[in-house]
Chain A
Amino acid sequence: MLFLAMAWRNVWRHRRRSLLTVATIALGLAFNIFMRGIGDGFHEQMVDNSVQAHIGHLQVHRDGYHDDPGINKTIPELERVETAISGLTGVRGYSVRVLGDGLASTAANSAGVGIAGVDPGRERSVTTIHRAVVAGSYLGPEDSQSILIGERLAKLLQVELGENLVLLVQAADGSMGGEKYRITGIFRSGSPDLDRGVVYLLRQDAESLFALAGRATEAAVLLNSSQDVDRVHAELERSLAGTGVEVLPWYVVEPYIQQFIDLDDAFFYVIVLILFIVISVGILNTILMSIFERVREFGVMMSLGMKPRQVVRLVVMEAALLGLVGALVGAALGSAITLYYASVGMDFASWAEGAAALGMTTTVAYPKLTAANLVVSNISVLFVVMLVALYPAVHAARLRPVEAIRHV
């Protein structure tokens, strides 16, 4: 305790210099926590947006569908799959879909589209597409021969609500299928892929269009929490083993999202590294000055019997205390800023186009403060401070007491 008290008082011998160093550490840490918070919040929103726009946290298909999709690759033992999904804990909802490709045509134009045959009630429990309807209404269970299309597609095909659209497809039996549908809803999800390239109709209409009576190509599952993905994925894979289906988490279905997150994290770590180097130089300067001013004291300590490793410990302890104060202030400041923006949001409207390409359907980002962020940031700063202190500490420990006690 005596040496701890000594270290603490040594830290505050030059109050202004120590306060400046504490401020450097605190601001660096606060910046780190805030930037990490923005990253965490942005990534989570991006995942949630993508997951809830269409893909779900997990998808179940016939084996091999993901690598080479086809209308013939329907889910075997569909009832067993549905029963297995329903029995899992952490599942918010699931939607069985008939997915295929086709040509959407109007008198004015035509375009290739993805066709999603859904049960509107179930789809509502998985995706947010029902909330994205900007004209007309979402599909109802009785809305046979109705179709919901994206705003961009409507523009491309030059159609409006209430007008008709024809879908041409190659059915599962190899025949050409074609049906006319009435546009009962137009949506704007914010995702260019969905708004331009996917249409929704009732599952029974899609079954009829693709000649797939009672069959489906995909079951999309939404969980209560993204944290449960790996657990539920493993459980579902176990319970469906041997049925000839593949169970895929969102990051396999849409790997570019995870790749973007990894790349973004890598950039963040480079920034943090540069930041830590700058902080380190400041801390090194403070500790070195403090050592040079106390050469005689170290000489006296060693004359009295303090061993070099105890000198190292004392100097590192001083640095750790300096770092601890900086970390506490920085953590409080960083948390406060992050929590503030987590409640009011940060408007990135000017980046909306780019964000939409990454699956963001909102222009307001909400930073997220996580325990992992706080713990990792604080430990990193303390570790860096103590690491930086090692050089001056070893320098002090190598002083020759006989020379140091004569130092002026």
Chain B
Amino acid sequence: MALVEIEHVWKTYRDHVDVHALQDVSMELNRGEFAAVVGPSGSGKTTLLNMVGALDRPDRGAIRIGELELTATPSDQLADFRLQHLGFIFQSFNLFPVLTVIENLEFVPALQRVSKKDRREKAHDLLRAVGMADLAGKRPSELSGGQQQRAAVLRAILTEPDLVLADEPTANLDSTNAGRLLDMMEQLNRDKGITFLFSTHDPQVMERARKLVRLKDGKVA
């Protein structure tokens, strides 16, 4: 059974004019995949990721992750679902500036009420594993863009979620740093079996993705 099932999803943003962000989109994503939604700007990539990430709801259609039908789930439960099952990586890193790297990593397990000792130990282990232990006590403002985004990836995967959603994760990085970031995510995908779904128009990401879903004008091309 697929981890993510998207069935005939429609989404229209109504402003001065109606913008059909998604039109009858259907796709599946299996557990352990390293997949990317690709397409030009405005093609609906981010909208689709927001739907899968339970941050937005479709006008029509259904989205299922594991056993949960997202479109029929109340908002408060969706927050809990995101906390327990999803990880997020944003284009502009979005680490919390007042927390150190290790504290940023601890944010999600702290919400999950994991004890301080356990979450700190886990965060340290992970930082060590990717060679970032020396950055543990630094604030995001003291890191380079690449370091920040790698820390953001670690924050997303520390609790080993079922699915990590990464919205243009390499957009603000140079190609070297983008490469290093992708290396790390591939390793985590391989070693921990974490499923990744990207939205991107970065050729590097497209090359490495093992599954590509192409969107154009809100439709699967």
Residues of A in contact with B (beta carbons under 8 Å apart)? 1-3, 5-6, 9-10, 13, 296-297, 300-308, 310, 401-402, 405
Contact = CB atoms under 8 A, between A and B. Distances in A.
Given A300-B90, A402-B50, A402-B56, A306 B79 contact: yes
A2 B55 contact: no
A305 B90 contact: no
Interface in B134-179: 155
Contacts of B90: 300, 405
A100 to B, nearest CB: 79
Contacts of B155: 304
Given A10-B98, A401-B55, A402-B56, A304 B106 contact: no
Q: Which residue among A6, A305, A405 has the maximum number of chain B CB atoms within 10 Å of its CB? A: A305
A305 B94 contact: no
B110 interface: yes
B110 A304 contact: no
B94 A310 contact: no
A5 to B, nearest CB: 7
B99 interface: yes
B169 to A, nearest CB: 14
B88 A304 contact: yes
Nearest to B165: A303
Interface in B65-113: 76, 79-80, 82-84, 86, 88, 90, 94, 96-99, 103, 106-108, 110-112
A303 B116 CA distance: 22
Interface of B: 50, 53, 55-56, 76, 79-80, 82-84, 86, 88, 90, 94, 96-99, 103, 106-108, 110-112, 116, 155
A305 B99 contact: no
Nearest to A2: B110
Contacts of A401: 55
A402 B53 CA distance: 10
Contacts of A6: 96, 98-99, 103
B94 A300 contact: yes
Contact of B84 (A10, A13, A305, A405): A305
A303 to B, nearest CB: 5
Given A300-B90, A303-B82, A305-B79, A3 B98 contact: no
B94 A405 contact: yes
11 contacts: A1-B116, A2-B107, A9-B98, A9-B99, A13-B97, A300-B88, A300-B90, A305-B79, A306-B79, A401-B55, A405-B90
B98 A310 contact: no
Contacts of A308: 76, 79
A304 B56 contact: no
A305 B98 CA distance: 19
A3 B106 CA distance: 10
Contacts of B79: 302, 305-308
Contacts of B99: 2, 5-6, 9
B111 A310 contact: yes
Given A305-B83, A405-B94, A5 B88 contact: no
B123 to A, nearest CB: 11
Given A305-B112, A307-B80, 8 more contacts: A2-B106, A6-B103, A297-B96, A304-B108, A306-B111, A401-B55, A402-B50, A402-B56
Contacts of A300: 88, 90, 94, 96
Contacts of B103: 2, 5-6
Contacts of B110: 2-3
A308 B79 CA distance: 9
A371 to B, nearest CB: 36
A304 B107 contact: yes
B98 A303 contact: no
Contacts of A307: 76, 79-80
Nearest to B99: A6
Contact of A305 (B50, B82, B116): B82
A166 to B, nearest CB: 87
A3 B80 CA distance: 18
A305 B83 CA distance: 4
Contacts of A302: 79
Nearest to B81: A305
Contacts of B56: 402
Contacts of B98: 6, 9-10, 13
Nearest to B50: A402
A296 B94 contact: yes
Nearest to A309: B76
